[in-house]
Amino acid sequence: MSRTRGPARDPSLHPTDLFRSVGRWLRWPGGPGFESTRYLAKWLVLSSCIGLVAGLGAIVFFLAINWSTHFFLGQVVGYLPPSPSGEGPTVLRGMDRPWLLPLVVGLGGLVSGLIVFNLAPEAEGHGTDAAIAAIHHRQGRVRARIPPIKLIASAITIGSGGSGGREGPAAQISAGFGSLLGQWLNLKPLDRRIAVAAGIGL
């Protein structure tokens, strides 16, 4: 009596199967304690991915700030602020239209505020507080829209002359990717928190 065989499985691997396989491997304990070889190898892979995207995100953020500064302050006000040493000209120049500066600063703050308020309230402020809150109160979960919205809103704020720095937004952008990577791989909450903390540190 012959046994009926089902249809042969397609040997090709679907991308979702690949993510599931990697996620299962990363969730496997692999030995006692945080110093096991498997645990260290897992975080070598994850931290390298987070660091690569964090570096690319920082480059895009830097270019977005430069573009925003040249548009709002350079073209509208006729003024380019001196750059930090090593990043561009450090010469202090005069303004062609100084009366427009308060209007441009106010407009930049209004536009970035509307973007954040309507699309991602978690992206308000300098960024590090929201990333730390995701670790303590949301099991390392950050919505996928947070990094791009934070990048755009912060670039508009800084580029239009608003009071703000690059470090906080860069930390939240990197932390957001660490969280998304943990969610894509279906990591445990502890590992997601570590991924977010790694993003902040980068």
Residue 5 has pLDDT above 70, yes or no: no
Q: At residue 6, does pLDDT exceed 50?
A: no
Comparison of pLDDT for 150 and 2, the residue scoring more: 150
Neighbours of 137 (CB within 10 A): 9
C-alpha to C-alpha distance for 128 and 83, rounded to whole angstroms: 24
Q: pLDDT grade, residue 1 (50/70/90)?
A: very low
* Distance between CA atoms of residues 65 and 87, nearest Å: 13
Predicted TM-score of the model (pTM): 0.73
Ramachandran region, residue 125 (left: φ > 0; alpha: ψ -120 to 50; beta: rest) = left
Question: Please, what is the average pLDDT of the chain?
Answer: 80
- The amino acid occupying position 125 is G
What is the average per-residue pLDDT within 125-152?
A: 84
Task: Scan for tokens 């996620």, then name that residue.
Answer: 23
- Sequence ranges of the domains in the chain: 51-80+97-201
Residue type, 63: L
d(CA 81, CA 76): 13
In angstroms, the CA 188 to CA 84 distance is 41
Using CA atoms, how far apart are residues 177 and 191, in angstroms rounded to an integer?
13
Which residue in 150, 118, 133, 115 sits closest to 196, CA to CA? 133
Could you give the angle at the alpha carbon of 42 between the alpha carbons of 39 and 11, nearest 5°?
A: 125
Q: Give CA–CA dist 136/128, Å, rounded.
A: 13
What is the chain's percent helix, strand, coil content, to nearest 5?
65, 0, 35
Q: Give residue-wise pLDDT tens across range 67-78.
A: 999 999 988 988
Cα–Cα distance list, 111 to 57, 123, 128, 156, 172 (Å): 22, 14, 21, 8, 20
Q: What is the pLDDT of residue 138?
A: 84
Residue 9, classed as helix, strand or coil, is coil
Query: Model confidence over 13-62: pLDDT tens digits?
Result: 555 555 555 555 555 554 555 556 777 888 888 888 888 888 888 899 99
